[in-house]
A and B are shown apart, each in its own frame.
Chain A
Amino acid sequence: MSFISSPKFPQFDGDSPATNTSISYKVQLLETKMSLFQQWAFIVKEALDKSFLVAKFFCAVHVTNTYLCSTALVQGPSMLPTFNLTNEIVLLERISTRNGKAGPGDVVILQSPENPRKFVTKRIIGMEGDNITYIVDPKNSDRTETIIVPKGHVWVQGDNIYNSYDSRNFGPVPYGLLQGKVFWRIWPAGAFGSIGRRPETVDPALKVVEQ
Protein backbone atom coordinates (compact mmCIF):
# COMPACT_ATOMS: atom_id res chain seq x y z
CA MET A 1 0.00 0.00 0.00
CA SER A 2 1.55 3.25 -1.06
CA PHE A 3 1.35 6.34 1.12
CA ILE A 4 2.10 8.62 -1.76
CA SER A 5 -1.53 8.76 -2.72
CA SER A 6 -3.23 10.69 -5.43
CA PRO A 7 -4.71 14.07 -4.60
CA LYS A 8 -8.10 12.90 -5.77
CA PHE A 9 -10.84 12.34 -3.23
CA PRO A 10 -11.62 8.67 -2.50
CA GLN A 11 -14.24 7.05 -4.72
CA PHE A 12 -17.00 4.88 -3.32
CA ASP A 13 -19.17 2.35 -5.12
CA GLY A 14 -22.37 4.21 -5.38
CA ASP A 15 -22.59 5.14 -1.64
CA SER A 16 -23.12 8.76 -0.79
CA PRO A 17 -20.39 10.24 1.47
CA ALA A 18 -22.97 11.25 4.06
CA THR A 19 -23.88 7.66 4.95
CA ASN A 20 -20.37 6.18 4.69
CA THR A 21 -18.78 6.97 8.07
CA SER A 22 -16.91 3.69 8.49
CA ILE A 23 -13.33 3.39 9.67
CA SER A 24 -12.10 2.63 6.19
CA TYR A 25 -13.43 5.97 5.00
CA LYS A 26 -11.55 7.80 7.71
CA VAL A 27 -8.37 5.84 7.06
CA GLN A 28 -8.55 6.61 3.37
CA LEU A 29 -9.10 10.26 4.22
CA LEU A 30 -6.08 10.15 6.54
CA GLU A 31 -3.90 8.63 3.90
CA THR A 32 -4.83 11.15 1.28
CA LYS A 33 -4.70 14.26 3.39
CA MET A 34 -1.63 13.68 5.58
CA SER A 35 1.91 13.28 4.40
CA LEU A 36 4.31 10.75 5.92
CA PHE A 37 5.93 13.40 8.12
CA GLN A 38 2.59 14.45 9.52
CA GLN A 39 1.75 10.85 10.38
CA TRP A 40 5.00 10.46 12.27
CA ALA A 41 4.43 13.75 14.08
CA PHE A 42 1.00 12.53 15.09
CA ILE A 43 2.39 9.26 16.50
CA VAL A 44 5.16 11.08 18.39
CA LYS A 45 2.67 13.54 19.88
CA GLU A 46 0.46 10.66 21.02
CA ALA A 47 3.47 8.92 22.64
CA LEU A 48 4.50 12.12 24.44
CA ASP A 49 0.98 12.68 25.73
CA LYS A 50 0.78 9.15 27.08
CA SER A 51 4.18 9.34 28.78
CA PHE A 52 3.28 12.71 30.28
CA LEU A 53 0.18 11.07 31.71
CA VAL A 54 2.30 8.30 33.22
CA ALA A 55 4.71 10.87 34.68
CA LYS A 56 1.81 12.80 36.25
CA PHE A 57 0.49 9.56 37.78
CA PHE A 58 3.92 8.72 39.19
CA CYS A 59 4.23 12.18 40.73
CA ALA A 60 0.76 11.91 42.28
CA VAL A 61 1.67 8.53 43.79
CA HIS A 62 4.93 9.91 45.16
CA VAL A 63 3.29 12.96 46.73
CA THR A 64 0.55 10.83 48.32
CA ASN A 65 3.05 8.33 49.71
CA THR A 66 5.35 10.98 51.11
CA TYR A 67 2.92 13.54 52.48
CA LEU A 68 -0.42 11.83 53.07
CA CYS A 69 -0.71 8.09 53.54
CA SER A 70 1.34 5.06 52.62
CA THR A 71 1.44 1.31 53.15
CA ALA A 72 4.09 -0.74 54.87
CA LEU A 73 4.97 -4.36 55.52
CA VAL A 74 5.51 -5.22 59.18
CA GLN A 75 7.25 -8.37 60.35
CA GLY A 76 9.17 -9.59 63.35
CA PRO A 77 8.50 -10.53 66.96
CA SER A 78 9.11 -7.17 68.64
CA MET A 79 5.49 -5.93 68.51
CA LEU A 80 3.67 -9.10 69.62
CA PRO A 81 0.78 -9.45 70.20
CA THR A 82 -0.22 -6.24 68.40
CA PHE A 83 1.50 -7.39 65.23
CA ASN A 84 2.02 -11.06 64.48
CA LEU A 85 5.31 -12.69 63.48
CA THR A 86 4.22 -13.14 59.88
CA ASN A 87 3.90 -10.35 57.35
CA GLU A 88 1.21 -7.80 58.05
CA ILE A 89 0.31 -4.85 55.84
CA VAL A 90 -0.53 -1.58 57.56
CA LEU A 91 -1.48 1.93 56.56
CA LEU A 92 0.62 4.74 57.89
CA GLU A 93 -0.16 8.41 57.80
CA ARG A 94 2.54 11.00 57.38
CA ILE A 95 0.72 14.08 58.59
CA SER A 96 1.07 13.53 62.36
CA THR A 97 4.81 12.96 62.33
CA ARG A 98 5.41 15.91 60.00
CA ASN A 99 3.43 18.27 62.28
CA GLY A 100 4.83 16.98 65.56
CA LYS A 101 1.50 15.51 66.67
CA ALA A 102 2.75 11.96 67.26
CA GLY A 103 2.64 11.28 70.98
CA PRO A 104 3.00 8.56 73.61
CA GLY A 105 1.08 5.39 72.76
CA ASP A 106 1.31 5.81 68.99
CA VAL A 107 2.77 3.02 66.90
CA VAL A 108 5.27 4.61 64.50
CA ILE A 109 7.59 3.52 61.74
CA LEU A 110 11.03 5.06 61.99
CA GLN A 111 14.45 4.79 60.35
CA SER A 112 16.77 2.77 62.53
CA PRO A 113 19.50 5.01 64.00
CA GLU A 114 22.01 2.27 63.27
CA ASN A 115 21.12 1.76 59.61
CA PRO A 116 19.31 4.51 57.70
CA ARG A 117 18.04 2.08 55.09
CA LYS A 118 16.22 -0.10 57.63
CA PHE A 119 12.76 0.77 58.93
CA VAL A 120 11.48 -0.46 62.29
CA THR A 121 8.02 -0.38 63.85
CA LYS A 122 7.82 0.54 67.52
CA ARG A 123 5.54 2.31 69.97
CA ILE A 124 6.37 5.75 71.40
CA ILE A 125 6.67 5.49 75.17
CA GLY A 126 7.91 8.98 76.04
CA MET A 127 8.47 12.39 74.51
CA GLU A 128 11.15 15.00 75.24
CA GLY A 129 11.45 15.88 78.91
CA ASP A 130 9.70 12.71 80.13
CA ASN A 131 11.21 10.54 82.85
CA ILE A 132 11.38 6.96 81.54
CA THR A 133 11.98 3.99 83.82
CA TYR A 134 12.62 0.85 81.83
CA ILE A 135 13.65 -2.72 82.47
CA VAL A 136 17.00 -3.13 80.79
CA ASP A 137 16.97 -6.90 80.20
CA PRO A 138 13.68 -8.50 81.28
CA LYS A 139 14.68 -12.05 80.29
CA ASN A 140 17.65 -12.16 82.67
CA SER A 141 17.11 -9.64 85.47
CA ASP A 142 14.78 -7.07 86.97
CA ARG A 143 17.26 -4.21 86.88
CA THR A 144 15.69 -0.92 85.86
CA GLU A 145 17.19 2.35 84.74
CA THR A 146 15.75 5.82 84.57
CA ILE A 147 16.48 8.37 81.89
CA ILE A 148 15.19 11.80 80.93
CA VAL A 149 14.47 12.00 77.22
CA PRO A 150 16.54 14.86 75.71
CA LYS A 151 15.07 17.73 73.71
CA GLY A 152 13.95 16.81 70.22
CA HIS A 153 14.04 13.05 70.89
CA VAL A 154 11.52 10.28 71.62
CA TRP A 155 11.79 6.97 73.45
CA VAL A 156 10.43 4.00 71.53
CA GLN A 157 9.90 0.43 72.67
CA GLY A 158 8.41 -2.66 71.11
CA ASP A 159 5.29 -4.13 72.74
CA ASN A 160 7.18 -7.40 73.26
CA ILE A 161 9.96 -6.18 75.54
CA TYR A 162 11.44 -9.66 75.79
CA ASN A 163 12.39 -9.71 72.13
CA SER A 164 12.71 -6.16 70.91
CA TYR A 165 15.72 -4.09 69.81
CA ASP A 166 14.62 -0.57 70.63
CA SER A 167 15.53 2.56 72.58
CA ARG A 168 16.74 0.39 75.45
CA ASN A 169 19.55 -0.62 73.09
CA PHE A 170 20.12 2.36 70.77
CA GLY A 171 18.98 5.17 73.05
CA PRO A 172 16.47 7.95 72.45
CA VAL A 173 15.72 8.61 68.80
CA PRO A 174 15.65 12.12 67.22
CA TYR A 175 12.14 13.09 66.16
CA GLY A 176 13.36 13.65 62.58
CA LEU A 177 13.78 9.88 62.11
CA LEU A 178 10.06 9.18 62.52
CA GLN A 179 8.51 8.39 59.16
CA GLY A 180 4.82 7.88 59.88
CA LYS A 181 2.18 6.81 62.37
CA VAL A 182 0.53 3.42 61.92
CA PHE A 183 -3.22 3.75 62.27
CA TRP A 184 -4.85 0.86 60.38
CA ARG A 185 -4.10 -2.76 59.56
CA ILE A 186 -5.28 -4.03 56.17
CA TRP A 187 -3.81 -7.57 56.11
CA PRO A 188 -4.46 -10.22 57.36
CA ALA A 189 -8.10 -9.56 56.64
CA GLY A 190 -9.20 -11.28 59.84
CA ALA A 191 -7.54 -8.57 61.89
CA PHE A 192 -8.62 -5.61 59.73
CA GLY A 193 -8.97 -2.60 61.96
CA SER A 194 -7.44 0.32 63.73
CA ILE A 195 -4.28 0.24 65.82
CA GLY A 196 -4.90 1.77 69.20
CA ARG A 197 -2.76 3.70 71.65
CA ARG A 198 -2.43 0.76 74.01
CA PRO A 199 -0.67 -2.54 73.30
CA GLU A 200 -3.08 -5.33 72.44
CA THR A 201 -3.29 -8.02 75.10
CA VAL A 202 -4.54 -10.78 72.78
CA ASP A 203 -3.90 -11.59 69.14
CA PRO A 204 -6.35 -9.40 67.18
CA ALA A 205 -6.84 -12.11 64.56
CA LEU A 206 -8.36 -14.41 67.15
CA LYS A 207 -10.96 -11.76 68.03
CA VAL A 208 -11.22 -12.94 71.63
CA VAL A 209 -13.29 -10.55 73.71
CA GLU A 210 -11.25 -9.08 76.55
CA GLN A 211 -12.70 -9.71 80.04
Chain B
Amino acid sequence: MRSTSFLWNVCKSSFTFGLIGLTVSDRVASVVRVRGLSMSPTFNPPNNTSLGLFTDDHVLVEKRCLTDYKFSHGDVVVFCSPRNYKEKQIKRITGMPGDWISVPFSYDAVRIPEGHCWVEGDNPTDSLDSRSFGPIPLGLIRGRVTHVLWPPQRVGKIDKKLPRSGLSF
Protein backbone atom coordinates (compact mmCIF):
# COMPACT_ATOMS: atom_id res chain seq x y z
CA MET B 1 0.00 0.00 0.00
CA ARG B 2 2.81 2.43 0.87
CA SER B 3 4.69 1.72 -2.39
CA THR B 4 1.62 2.52 -4.53
CA SER B 5 1.10 5.85 -2.79
CA PHE B 6 4.81 6.61 -3.30
CA LEU B 7 4.42 5.75 -7.01
CA TRP B 8 1.34 7.95 -7.17
CA ASN B 9 3.28 10.83 -5.63
CA VAL B 10 6.09 10.36 -8.13
CA CYS B 11 3.56 10.39 -10.99
CA LYS B 12 1.85 13.50 -9.68
CA SER B 13 5.05 15.47 -9.24
CA SER B 14 6.49 14.44 -12.60
CA PHE B 15 3.19 15.42 -14.28
CA THR B 16 3.28 18.82 -12.55
CA PHE B 17 6.93 19.27 -13.46
CA GLY B 18 6.13 18.33 -17.06
CA LEU B 19 3.27 20.85 -17.27
CA ILE B 20 5.39 23.67 -15.87
CA GLY B 21 8.37 22.77 -18.08
CA LEU B 22 6.20 22.68 -21.19
CA THR B 23 4.64 26.06 -20.39
CA VAL B 24 8.04 27.65 -19.72
CA SER B 25 9.55 26.25 -22.92
CA ASP B 26 6.55 27.50 -24.92
CA ARG B 27 6.32 30.97 -23.46
CA VAL B 28 9.73 31.96 -22.12
CA ALA B 29 12.69 30.15 -23.67
CA SER B 30 13.94 26.71 -24.68
CA VAL B 31 17.19 25.04 -25.74
CA VAL B 32 17.56 23.79 -29.31
CA ARG B 33 20.26 21.72 -31.00
CA VAL B 34 21.59 23.14 -34.26
CA ARG B 35 22.14 20.57 -37.00
CA GLY B 36 23.83 21.22 -40.30
CA LEU B 37 26.26 23.75 -41.61
CA SER B 38 23.94 26.38 -43.09
CA MET B 39 24.74 28.85 -40.33
CA SER B 40 28.54 28.38 -40.23
CA PRO B 41 30.56 29.99 -38.72
CA THR B 42 27.97 31.41 -36.33
CA PHE B 43 26.82 27.89 -35.36
CA ASN B 44 28.72 24.63 -35.96
CA PRO B 45 31.91 26.19 -37.32
CA PRO B 46 34.00 23.85 -39.45
CA ASN B 47 36.46 21.68 -37.53
CA ASN B 48 38.35 18.50 -38.18
CA THR B 49 36.30 16.03 -36.14
CA SER B 50 32.93 14.76 -37.39
CA LEU B 51 29.85 16.42 -35.99
CA GLY B 52 27.72 14.56 -33.49
CA LEU B 53 25.49 15.10 -30.50
CA PHE B 54 28.34 16.37 -28.35
CA THR B 55 29.85 18.73 -30.89
CA ASP B 56 26.64 20.25 -32.28
CA ASP B 57 25.87 23.70 -31.00
CA HIS B 58 23.04 24.14 -28.54
CA VAL B 59 21.39 27.55 -28.47
CA LEU B 60 18.86 29.41 -26.34
CA VAL B 61 15.66 30.29 -28.19
CA GLU B 62 13.53 32.97 -26.56
CA LYS B 63 9.76 32.92 -27.11
CA ARG B 64 8.80 36.31 -25.69
CA CYS B 65 9.12 37.83 -29.17
CA LEU B 66 6.08 35.82 -30.32
CA THR B 67 3.60 38.08 -28.53
CA ASP B 68 4.09 41.01 -30.90
CA TYR B 69 6.25 39.64 -33.75
CA LYS B 70 8.62 42.63 -33.74
CA PHE B 71 11.62 41.30 -35.61
CA SER B 72 14.40 43.22 -37.33
CA HIS B 73 17.29 42.73 -39.74
CA GLY B 74 19.98 40.46 -38.42
CA ASP B 75 17.80 38.42 -36.00
CA VAL B 76 18.49 34.70 -36.03
CA VAL B 77 15.12 32.92 -35.87
CA VAL B 78 13.71 29.40 -35.64
CA PHE B 79 10.83 28.80 -38.04
CA CYS B 80 8.74 25.97 -39.50
CA SER B 81 9.86 25.19 -43.02
CA PRO B 82 7.24 26.26 -45.60
CA ARG B 83 7.90 23.06 -47.52
CA ASN B 84 7.35 20.74 -44.55
CA TYR B 85 5.73 22.10 -41.41
CA LYS B 86 7.28 19.38 -39.22
CA GLU B 87 10.86 20.57 -39.86
CA LYS B 88 12.22 23.53 -37.97
CA GLN B 89 15.00 25.59 -39.47
CA ILE B 90 17.35 28.25 -38.08
CA LYS B 91 18.30 31.13 -40.35
CA ARG B 92 18.97 34.85 -40.15
CA ILE B 93 16.43 37.48 -41.21
CA THR B 94 17.97 39.58 -43.99
CA GLY B 95 14.83 41.32 -45.28
CA MET B 96 11.72 42.77 -43.69
CA PRO B 97 8.36 43.70 -45.32
CA GLY B 98 8.77 46.37 -47.96
CA ASP B 99 12.42 45.59 -48.73
CA TRP B 100 13.54 44.76 -52.26
CA ILE B 101 15.71 41.66 -52.64
CA SER B 102 17.59 40.97 -55.85
CA VAL B 103 17.16 37.38 -57.04
CA PRO B 104 20.51 35.71 -57.69
CA PHE B 105 21.50 34.94 -61.29
CA SER B 106 18.78 37.16 -62.73
CA TYR B 107 17.95 40.82 -63.17
CA ASP B 108 14.69 40.56 -61.21
CA ALA B 109 14.06 42.19 -57.87
CA VAL B 110 11.47 40.79 -55.47
CA ARG B 111 9.57 43.03 -53.06
CA ILE B 112 8.91 41.35 -49.72
CA PRO B 113 5.13 41.41 -49.15
CA GLU B 114 3.43 42.61 -45.96
CA GLY B 115 3.75 40.14 -43.07
CA HIS B 116 6.65 38.19 -44.67
CA CYS B 117 10.41 38.17 -44.23
CA TRP B 118 13.46 36.99 -46.15
CA VAL B 119 15.70 34.49 -44.36
CA GLU B 120 19.19 33.42 -45.33
CA GLY B 121 21.81 31.22 -43.77
CA ASP B 122 25.21 32.70 -42.88
CA ASN B 123 26.88 30.07 -45.07
CA PRO B 124 25.45 30.81 -48.53
CA THR B 125 27.01 27.80 -50.24
CA ASP B 126 25.32 25.24 -47.98
CA SER B 127 21.99 26.79 -47.08
CA LEU B 128 18.43 26.07 -48.24
CA ASP B 129 16.68 29.34 -47.51
CA SER B 130 14.54 32.09 -49.01
CA ARG B 131 16.66 32.03 -52.16
CA SER B 132 14.91 28.68 -52.88
CA PHE B 133 11.48 28.96 -51.26
CA GLY B 134 10.92 32.71 -51.30
CA PRO B 135 9.84 34.99 -48.46
CA ILE B 136 8.19 33.25 -45.50
CA PRO B 137 5.21 34.56 -43.48
CA LEU B 138 6.23 35.91 -40.08
CA GLY B 139 3.62 33.58 -38.53
CA LEU B 140 5.90 30.60 -39.21
CA ILE B 141 8.54 31.92 -36.82
CA ARG B 142 8.71 29.95 -33.58
CA GLY B 143 11.37 31.87 -31.63
CA ARG B 144 14.48 34.04 -31.74
CA VAL B 145 17.97 32.73 -30.96
CA THR B 146 19.79 34.90 -28.44
CA HIS B 147 22.70 32.94 -26.94
CA VAL B 148 24.94 29.97 -27.66
CA LEU B 149 24.94 27.60 -24.70
CA TRP B 150 27.24 24.79 -25.92
CA PRO B 151 30.19 24.23 -26.56
CA PRO B 152 31.52 26.03 -23.50
CA GLN B 153 34.30 27.83 -25.34
CA ARG B 154 31.77 29.70 -27.50
CA VAL B 155 29.14 30.51 -24.90
CA GLY B 156 27.87 34.04 -25.44
CA LYS B 157 25.36 36.34 -27.03
CA ILE B 158 24.80 36.21 -30.79
CA ASP B 159 25.58 39.45 -32.60
CA LYS B 160 23.04 40.89 -34.96
CA LYS B 161 25.05 40.75 -38.16
CA LEU B 162 23.53 43.18 -40.62
CA PRO B 163 22.94 41.83 -44.12
CA ARG B 164 25.72 41.92 -46.68
CA SER B 165 25.64 45.20 -48.55
CA GLY B 166 24.25 45.19 -52.06
CA LEU B 167 21.61 42.54 -51.53
CA SER B 168 18.80 44.59 -50.00
CA PHE B 169 18.14 48.27 -50.35
Contacts and interface: CB of A to CB of B under 8 A. Distances in A.
B140 A60 contact: no
Interface in B23-61: 23, 26-27
A176 B87 CA distance: 10
B136 interface: yes
A113 B137 contact: yes
Given A56-B16, A59-B20, A176-B140, A115 B26 contact: no
Contacts of B139: 111-113, 116, 176-177
Contact of A174 (B26, B69, B85, B113): B85
Interface residues of B, number: 27
A58 interface: yes
Given A62-B27, A152-B82, A152-B83, A116 B22 contact: no
Interface in B89-137: 113-116, 136-137
Contacts of A55: 20
Contacts of B85: 100, 152, 174-176
Interface string A14-28: 000000000000000
Chain A contact-residue range equals 20 to 34
Contact of B22 (A59, A115, A152): A59
B98 to A, nearest CB: 13
A143 interface: no
Given A100-B85, A153-B82, A174 B140 contact: yes
A112 B114 CA distance: 11
Contact of B137 (A59, A63, A100, A174): A174
A152 B82 CA distance: 6
B23 A58 contact: yes
B19 A59 contact: yes
B115 A114 contact: yes
The DSSP consensus for interface residues of chain A is: mixed
A101 to B, nearest CB: 12
A84 B23 CA distance: 34
Most chain A CB atoms below 10 A, which of B85, B136, B141:
B85
Given A56-B20, A59-B20, A62-B26, A177 B137 contact: yes
A114 B20 contact: no
A194 interface: no
B158 interface: no
Nearest to A152: B83
Given A62-B27, A100-B86, A113-B116, 14 more contacts: A56-B20, A59-B22, A63-B19, A100-B85, A111-B137, A115-B115, A116-B69, A152-B85, A153-B82, A174-B137, A174-B140, A176-B81, A176-B82, A176-B85
12 contacts: A62-B23, A62-B26, A111-B137, A113-B137, A113-B139, A116-B69, A117-B68, A117-B69, A151-B83, A173-B137, A176-B139, A177-B139
Interface of A: 55-56, 58-60, 62-63, 66, 100, 111-117, 151-153, 173-177
